[in-house]
A and B are shown apart, each in its own frame.
Chain A
Amino acid sequence: MPDGLADLLHDAAVLHRFVDFIEEYCKEQERSQTYVDASGLFFQYVEKLAAGIKQELGGEIDRATQFPARLPILRRNILTLKYYLRLLHALIKPAADAHTLTIPAPLIDLAAQQLQKVEGMKGSSVVILLTPEFMYFQRPHTDIKDQARFVESFIPNASFPPKLGFIELPYSQGPSFFTNLAIYHEIGHFVYEELSNFDPPHANFTALKSAMARSLSKVFGQGSKDRQAQAFAGKIIENWTQEIFCDLFAIRLLGPAFSLALVEILGMLGFLSRSASVRFNPTHPASACRFAEHIRLLEADTWLKAIKDIKPEQMKLLEKLAKEPRANYSFYLDDKRRGPDSLMHAFLDVVVPAIRTLACRVTSKAAPVVKRFDRVRRDVEDCLRVGVVPHTTSSSSHDPVSIINSAFCFYLTSLPRVLEEFEGVEAKNDVAKHSLWTKRLEMWTMKAIEDSQIQDRLRRLKGTALWSFLEKKS
């Protein structure tokens, strides 16, 4: 036996056992739980990859026997594959935990439906992951896709499903509704990544990339040789760009409910203090800057006019932060060190206008949604006020975005009154009861969305052969 072959065999056996377990684990989850379609696609990819790796490992041993000089390279290749599986390993368990009983399935379904209507996103789907972190996050899938493409060159039968994204929800927030509206921002990251891979490139995305390049030239000068510093600054601009794009994208799909949910989440995480809210860091623009963009878009889309009579604390805070003068913004590379303000100003002057254009171009116009909201808001509130699931008496259903915005406004302004009505004046300051009624409100809202989706599906069936069949049956 050549020197080192025993080590290679050992490494290969360890990897074999690892992939064998993962393959069986995915199969078992699919047998025992119900998942959204995207999770099934992901599990199937992992199963095919595992089968392919097991087959490939035999080939690597044959090669090592024939060409012993290649042993160190072959061992390194096995290690690289193992690391790739380590990344997938980190996704598999959270995906397995996110079966339909542990996630806000109607909201996820709604988001998936809306995603199909976004320019260039037809056929895309999102795997939900439940994470132990108290943070919403979109796992960048371009890296995984690039890695999968490289892996496919040695494991040919395992193709990563196209247009598949990954979004993490904190496991504690799985069943809740209002805070989970934050997933729309994460879906924005997914869309942004997909846009960056369009072939041919999307015209407005190309314009945005040019703006980003111009902003860097403004700071570093043309043809700078400082490649590493420039690449790092480019990464910062990219991070800021994505954050603003995702906020605007989410507002276009969801309206003010997204902004209000974000205020709640950022407040919980402590990002809305006076000093934190005006500070840019390498991964995020200042919250004040983000909210200024929120207000600008909500105003342009006439949402602000539609909710002008609603002034909960969250709205006041949003407006206050949005008014923060730009001169107060600062950029810190870490806790202590100031970064170049020139980068921040170049971003605000050159890149942000291009982000606004892109966000509006890839999404539908908001005006019809605002009109529908205006029409149904009172109906939804009337239902919630008496403790029933919002519904219509006519054959047409309320649209989900109107239901969400109406319910969110109701939650922020009228919940104490409902509590008093049902539980008595003494329940006004009872935290447990407040929490219970918030949960109820969220459940009614979710049920209303589910009903609306079912009605919508039925409406689409009308006139088809299946509809005639169902009519006969009933």
Chain B
Amino acid sequence: MPMDLQDRAQYLSLALFSQKVVSALMEYVDENKNGKLRPSLAEALDSLLQTKRPSVNSQRKVAAFTTYEHLRTLEEVWSARERAEAIRVIRAILRTPKDPKTKRVANRLIDLFSKLQNQALWNFEQPKPVSPKVMTRLCQMA
């Protein structure tokens, strides 16, 4: 199946979403500004938690990780442990943003979302067909 612009655009959306999170975190860590921090992290947390719920019955609209392209990229760069770590760190920052310790762990979150942004940009530039695993699974169901 040819990769059309719509599929590629999904990767770019994920890259921009990651950039939004990273930018808010950098302002927080480097410049002590947290105006954009809460909305960006809340959006990220909501999206990450959504990936744990069975999606077929979900009607909620979240910013990321609901499409095939987003999920594929996420699974390519983050292990299950890293996903859990990201959720834990986001919660910690949201709970006590003024604590100097949280600033230190925020850098870890910047690394994680930078990795995600990088992979999303790579997938946008070099789109791959649907993963063979998925195709095989659907063929088996035929």
Interface residues of A (CB under 8 A from B): 63, 66-67, 70, 72-73, 76-77, 79-80, 83-84, 87, 90, 139-140, 143-144, 146-147, 150-151, 153-154, 197, 201, 206, 209-210, 213, 216-217, 219-220, 222-224, 226-235, 282-283, 331, 333-334, 337-343
Whether B142 lies near A341 (C-beta < 8 A) is yes
Point out the residues of chain A lying under 8 angstroms from B110, CB to CB: 73
Tell me the minimal C-beta distance from A25 to chain B in angstroms: 21
Residues on B facing A (Cβ under 8 Å): 1, 5-6, 9-10, 12-13, 15-17, 19-20, 22-24, 26, 30, 36, 40, 51, 54-59, 61, 63, 66-68, 71-72, 75, 110, 114, 117-118, 121, 124-125, 130-131, 133-135, 137-139, 141-142
A129 to chain B, nearest CB (A): 12
What is the distance, in angstroms, from B56's C-beta to the closest C-beta of chain A? 4
Residue in contact with B12 in the complex, picked from A66, A83, A140, A333, CB distance below 8 Å: A83
**B66 contacts across to A, CB distance below 8 A:** 231
CA distance A117 to B30 in the complex (A): 51
Secondary structure at chain A's binding surface: helix, strand, loop or mixed? helix
Inter-subunit contact A147/B9 (CB<8 Å): yes
Q: Which of A144, A146, A201, A232 contacts B138 (CB under 8 A)? A: A232
Residue among B40, B51, B59, B110 with the highest chain A CB neighbour number at 10 A: B59
Q: A63 contacts which chain B residues (CB < 8 A)? A: 26, 30
Residues of B within 8 A of A223 (CB): 54
> A140 to B137, alpha carbons, bound, how many Å?
28
How far is it, in angstroms, between the C-alpha of A139 and the C-alpha of B6 when the chains are bound? 8
Whether A234 contacts B59 in the complex (CB less than 8 A), given A147-B12, A150-B17, A153-B40, comes out as no
Q: How distant is the Cα of A226 from the Cα of B141 in the complex, in angstroms? A: 12
Tell me the complex Cα distance, A234–B67, Å.
Answer: 9
Chain B hits for A227, CB < 8 A = 51, 55, 71
Q: Are B54 and A234 in contact (CB under 8 A)?
A: no
Residues of B within 8 A of A222 (CB): 54
CB–CB B121/A83 < 8 A: yes
Question: Which residues on the B side are within 8 Å of A333 (C-beta)?
Answer: 1, 135, 138-139
A217 and B57 within 8 A (CB): yes
- Residue of A with least CB distance to B25: A73
Docked-complex contact B55 and A206, CB < 8 angstroms: no
Contact yes or no, A147 B57, CB < 8 A: no
Residues of B within 8 A of A206 (CB): 59
A222 to B131, CA, bound (A): 23
Given contacts A73-B26, A334-B1, A340-B138, contact A213 B56 (CB under 8 A): yes
| Min C-beta distance of B87 to chain A, whole Å | 17
B138 adjacent to A233 (CB under 8 Å): yes
Report yes or no: A232 in contact with B134, Cβ–Cβ below 8 A: yes
Contact A70 B56 (CB under 8 A): no
Which residues from A are CB-within-8-Å of B114?
A: 72-73, 76
**Least CB separation from A66: chain B residue:** B30
Q: Chain A's nearest CB lies how many Å from the CB of B77?
A: 14
Residue pairs across A and B with Cβ atoms less than 8 A apart, 10 shown, are: A70-B26, A73-B22, A76-B117, A83-B15, A87-B12, A143-B10, A154-B23, A210-B59, A232-B130, A234-B55
CB-CB under 8 A from B118, the residues of chain A are: 76
Instruction: Flag if A231 contacts B19 (CB, 8 Å).
Output: no
B40: chain A residues at CB < 8 Å are 153
Using CB atoms, name the residue of chain B closest to A74: B26
**Residues of chain A lying within 8 A (CB to CB) of residue B68:** 228, 231-232, 234-235
- Contacts A70-B30, A150-B16; A80 near B135 (Cβ below 8 A): no
> Which 6 A-B pairs give the minimum distances between C-beta atoms?
A340-B141, A150-B16, A143-B9, A231-B68, A229-B137, A338-B142
Residue of A nearest to B68 (CB): A231
User: Which residues of A lie under 8 Å from residue B59 when comparing CB positions?
Assistant: 201, 206, 209-210
Partner of B142, one of A66, A87, A140, A340: A340
| Residues of chain B with a CB closer than 8 A to A87's CB | 5, 9, 12
**With A and B bound together, what is the CA distance between A67 and B68 in angstroms?**
36
Which residues does chain A contribute within 8 Å of B130, judged by CB atoms?
232
Contact B20 A231 (CB under 8 A): no
Contact at B72–A228, with CB atoms within 8 Å?
A: yes
Q: Are B141 and A219 in contact (CB under 8 A)?
A: yes
CB-CB < 8 A to A339: which residues of B?
138-139, 141-142
Report if A90-B5 is in contact (Cβ < 8 Å); known contacts: A84-B16, A150-B19, A229-B137.
yes
Question: CB-CB < 8 A to B17: which residues of A?
Answer: 150
Question: Is A230 in contact with B139, judged by CB distance below 8 angstroms?
Answer: no
In the complex, what distance in Å separates the CA atom of A466 from the CA atom of B22?
55
Closest to B75 in A: A228
> Complex: how many Å from CA A234 to CA B134?
12
Could you tell me the distance in whole angstroms from the C-beta of B115 to the nearest C-beta in chain A? 10
19 other contacts beyond A337-B139, A340-B142, with CB at 8 A cut-off? A72-B114, A73-B22, A83-B12, A84-B16, A143-B6, A143-B9, A143-B12, A147-B13, A150-B13, A154-B23, A228-B131, A228-B133, A228-B134, A229-B134, A229-B138, A230-B55, A339-B138, A339-B142, A343-B141
Query: Min CB distance, A157 to chain B, in Å?
Result: 16
Cβ-defined partner of B56 (8 Å) among A143, A150, A216: A216
In the complex, what distance in Å separates the CA atom of A80 from the CA atom of B142? 39
- A228: which B residues are within 8 A, CB to CB? 68, 71-72, 75, 131, 133-134
In angstroms, Cα B4 to Cα A131, docked, is 15
Cβ contact within 8 Å between B72 and A230: no
Q: Once bound together, how far apart are the Cα atoms of A154 and B72, in whole Å?
A: 26
